[in-house]
């Protein structure tokens, strides 16, 4: 029996970690600016059993507008969606843009709405409707860089990274030719950026942010931003596009790219199920119990650049989706996965999701219900422990139990494309259960022999 024990939540360290942005060419010497902030954060109670759903407004409907997307809210509510992550809503730069429509992440003005999506009133209506339906909305925020024709770039050139000749450059270490890197050594830039972020939360009423390439922006800026925004809306939610424990000094949740890589490699037979044990042990040692990891099989980047979950995970796609709901962390659904989405969406051009029968809607609805109805699966400190169940076939089968108080859920996964036989060697697996997906009542004993079909998963609720 192996128990993955997370560190207890504590006050954040007073040490300030500073990541200094610089240029791809030798840059002018500038004084580093560091903002010392004392911050204590907590996951809002409304997010204790939440899932998150990513919305690509451009590709969601033929119209590609807020109003057209708003018509889908009742279906998403019925699916049990909690948090709607809306990809960037600002106008997109024209200068140096890629494709016919450009990147969502090349902002032209942080204070305006992309006219392709509609008006500010349309967005306000969307926010209002989401809240009326008991859901929450976070907006994708791009603080690391802007489009080349952003309204800041001419009057505030010093807000941008520059080379030795004084030319504004792309973000350090990237080939992102359609965006210009911002300079967080400039205090005025920080003030302007935080003012823009404050506007959307205070005046428009959004519930938080998903922050693009958050690790490329100094952590002390994020801490200041979080402290300021928490004073406006104490129950906000913040997701970092980063896979590092230090980012949790300011954020509630970060990506689990490591887990995504494991999914891809296990599906291809490059890794065995045992690699999950290594991951969970590492996470338990590096993260506090309040720190959420976002688990996913797809998102906008993966779908476009690496392939759909069916390309990468094959027949194991559904199995890994269930695993995302079983492991500690918050599961993500990318728009279209409930269809399912079996094509790569274009990034810089119009490429509407082809909706039809919503064949996976019931599957994701049932997974969302599983998480909500079992407090052992809740997020962060609201949830329960995870304990590995030893078995006789550890390279192929991964099994574990999640438990909080009297609530106990057992997960068993065959992570191969071949049938497997296995015995569960842990007494914790013994008991009377309801098979969540079949509805059958089942009894398990220590050393209970099991025959599992390729990629079969079993979820058992203790009775």
Architecture of domain 397-462: Sandwich (2.60)
- List the strands of the sheet with 385-388, edge to edge: 2-4, 385-388, 397-404, 407-414, 457-462, 431-435, 441-444
Contact criterion met (CB below 8 Å) for 209 and 140: yes
Alpha carbon separation from 292 to 136, 178, 407 (Å, rounded): 17, 32, 21
CB 435 within 8 A of CB 442: yes
**Cα–Cα distance between 437 and 94 in angstroms, integer?**
49
Q: Which residue do the tokens 């990468």 mark?
A: 312
Q: Cα separation of 89 and 107, whole Å?
A: 9
Report pLDDT for 2: 66
Measure the CA–CA gap between 293 and 213, rounded to whole angstroms.
16
The top-level CATH class assigned to 25-383 is alpha beta
Provide the phi-psi class of 20: left if phi over 0, else alpha when psi is between -120 and 50, else beta.
beta
What is the reported pLDDT for 14? 33
Phi, psi angles (nearest 5°) of residue 382:
-75, -20
Map out the domains of the chain as residue ranges. Answer: 25-383, 397-462
Tens place of pLDDT for every residue, the chain, 463 residues?
567 755 443 333 333 333 333 334 445 545 788 888 888 889 999 999 999 999 999 999 999 999 999 999 999 999 999 999 999 999 999 999 999 999 999 999 999 999 999 999 999 999 999 999 999 999 999 999 999 999 999 999 999 999 999 999 999 999 999 999 999 999 999 999 999 999 999 999 999 999 999 999 999 999 999 999 999 999 999 999 999 999 999 999 999 999 999 999 999 999 999 999 999 999 999 999 999 999 999 999 999 999 999 999 999 999 999 999 999 999 999 999 999 999 999 999 999 999 999 999 999 999 999 999 999 999 999 999 999 999 999 999 999 999 999 999 999 999 999 999 999 988 888 999 999 999 999 999 988 899 999 999 999 999 9
**Separation of alpha carbons 136 and 55, rounded Å:** 13
Question: What count of residues does the chain have?
Answer: 463
Q: CA-CA distance, 348 to 103, in Å (whole number)?
A: 6
Q: Report the DSSP pairing between strands 52-55 and 83-86.
A: parallel
Q: How many CB atoms lie within 10 A of CB 282?
A: 12
For 351-372, b/e burial (b = at least 16 CB within 10 A) is bebebeeeebbebbbbbbebbb
Tell me, what's the pLDDT at 11? 32
SS3 content of the chain, % helix, strand, coil (to 5): 30, 20, 50
The helix/strand/coil state of 208 is strand
């Amino acid at each position: 029996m192996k128990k993955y024990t997370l560190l207890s939540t504590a006050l954040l360290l007073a040490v300030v970690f500073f990541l200094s942005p610089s240029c791809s060419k030798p840059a002018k010497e500038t004084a580093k600016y560091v903002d010392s902030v004392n911050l204590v954060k907590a996951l809002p109670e409304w997010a204790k059993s939440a899932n998150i759903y990513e919305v690509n407004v451009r590709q969601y409907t033929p119209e590609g507008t807020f109003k057209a997307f708003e018509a889908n809210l009742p279906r998403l509510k019925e699916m049990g969606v909690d948090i709607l992550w809306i990809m960037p809503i600002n106008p997109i730069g024209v200068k140096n843009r890629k494709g016919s429509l450009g990147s969502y992440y090349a902002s032209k003005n942080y204070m305006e709405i992309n006219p392709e999506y509609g008006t500010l009133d349309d967005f306000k209506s969307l926010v209002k409707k989401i809240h009326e339906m008991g859901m929450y909305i976070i907006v994708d925020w791009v603080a690391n860089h802007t489009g080349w024709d952003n309204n800041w770039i001419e009057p505030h050139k010093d807000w941008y990274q520059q080379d030795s000749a004084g030319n504004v450059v792309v973000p350090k270490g990237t080939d992102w030719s359609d965006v210009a890197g911002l300079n967080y050594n400039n205090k005025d830039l920080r003030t302007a950026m935080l003012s823009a972020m404050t506007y959307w939360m205070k005046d428009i009423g959004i519930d938080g942010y998903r922050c693009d390439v958050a690790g490329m922006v100094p952590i002390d800026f994020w801490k200041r931003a979080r402290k300021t925004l928490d004073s406006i809306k104490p129950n906000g939610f913040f997701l970092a596009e980063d896979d590092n424990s230090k980012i949790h000094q300011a954020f509630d949740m970060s990506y689990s790219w490591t887990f995504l890589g494991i999914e891809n490699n296990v599906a291809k037979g490059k890794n065995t199920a045992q690699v999950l044990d290594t991951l969970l042990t590492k996470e338990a040692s590096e993260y506090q119990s309040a720190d959420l990891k976002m688990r996913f099989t797809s998102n906008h980047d993966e779908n476009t650049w690496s392939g759909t979950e069916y390309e990468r995970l094959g027949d194991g796609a559904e199995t890994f989706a269930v695993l995302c709901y079983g492991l500690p962390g918050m599961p993500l659904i990318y728009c279209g996965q409930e269809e399912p989405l079996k094509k790569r969406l274009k990034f810089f051009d119009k490429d509407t999701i082809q909706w039809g029968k919503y064949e996976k809607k019931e599957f994701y609805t049932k997974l969302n219900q599983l998480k909500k109805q079992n407090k052992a699966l809740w997020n962060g400190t609201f949830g329960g422990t995870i304990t590995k169940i030893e078995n006789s076939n550890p390279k192929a089968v991964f099994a574990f139990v999640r438990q909080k108080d009297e609530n106990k859920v057992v997960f068993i996964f065959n992570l191969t494309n071949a049938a497997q036989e296995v015995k569960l060697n842990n007494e914790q697996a013994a008991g009377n259960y309801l098979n969540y997906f079949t509805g059958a009542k089942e009894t398990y004993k220590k050393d209970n022999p099991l025959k599992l079909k390729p990629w079969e998963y079993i979820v058992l609720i203790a009775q």
